[in-house]
Amino acid sequence: MKRTVKELAEFLGGRVIGDGTRIIEDVKGLAEAEAGDITFAVDPYTEYLPKIHAGAVIVEKEVPAGDNTLILVDTPRLSFSKLLELFHPRQSVEKGVHATAVIDKTAVLGDNTAVMAYAVIGKEVYIGANSVIYPYVFIGDRVRIDEGAVIYPGVVIFENTVIGKNAVIRSHAVIGGEGFGFATKDGVHTRIPQIGNVVIGDDVEIGAGTAIDNGTLGSTKVGRGTKIDNLVHLGHNVEIGEDCFVIAQTGIAGSTKTGHHVTFAGQTGCTGHITIGDNVTFAGKSGIIGNVPSNTINAGFPAQPHIEWSRTQVYLRRLPDLAKTVKQLEKRLAALEGKE
């Protein structure tokens, strides 16, 4: 594919500063971009532009750029992602039902839906228009999946799950598996039936190998626009708000509720039955053991405000020196007491 800078600027709704006739053949990262490539830069990386020799650079404001042509847009990252889709379109999928797919006669498939080889679809399932079900997907009874879904190979979606529009569920995720609930008597654990379901909002993405358990009663919920990374676990009756990020290897125990725009960085662990406010960020490997107010940045175990955690880390690094100082002071004090 070849496009002029001017054509790409029109596609993005941006403004060209420089030579709009340059030919662009590919999309590259800032460090790799050459004369035939388009890339993007945001602060502080814009300061390196005079050393870069790309065909064009997407930026949000006019900056010194050496011999680069600029395209000014409001959101460079979003514009760059659009170009990635333009220059590197996804694998095309043939619509229709493969002969080896097993679909119950009561299931309903929307228009232009693709069901690929060896998928299994249960009773009273509804799958909306323009969805893609890849090979070896299992969809249990009474599942509802709205239009535009993409369900990748090996995904398991258990009965009664509800999934909104434009869902992306990556390989080997398990949605609606039975929650982890037991009653213990005399050291013996007896399973408590988990009869709830999972409800996923519109525009949610769920990463490979992620498990979202169904509710004991009621629903485990993931709000609109939330993005979940690979290898995440949400326990029964967890409720995640809208536009959240849940990053790899995070585990959130049962019945915890979060607000909107919450970020759990990688390997965060969260206890159950707590409430987390809106606009909260947890640094990687945070350990959350209690309620967390809105508009906070937290880190450490137990999770605490990031500035307090940072101060603690400074003191921890100084502990050996502090221990030496204390020993010296103890010796001086003992000497002074001996003189008395």
Catalytic residue, from 53, 88, 233, 236: name it.
236
Concerning whether 98 is annotated as a catalytic residue, the answer is no
Q: Residue 199: how many CB atoms within 10 A of its CB?
A: 21
Q: Residue 73: how many CB atoms within 10 A of its CB?
A: 20
Half-sphere exposure of 152 (CA within 13 A, CB side): 16
The span from the CA of 187 to the CA of 58, in Å, is 63
* DSSP per-residue codes, 236-295: TT-EE-TT-EE-TT-EE-TT-EE-SS-EE-TT-EE-SS-EE-SS-EE-TT-EE-S-B-SS
Half-sphere exposure of 130 (CA within 13 A, CB side): 6
**Six token digits for residue 146:** 């709205």
Task: List all residues 6 or more positions away from 340 whose beta carbon is below 8 Å from its beta carbon.
Answer: none
Measured CA angle at 83 (ends 77, 87), to 5 deg? 150
**Six token digits for residue 174:** 């398990």
The catalytic residue positions are: 236
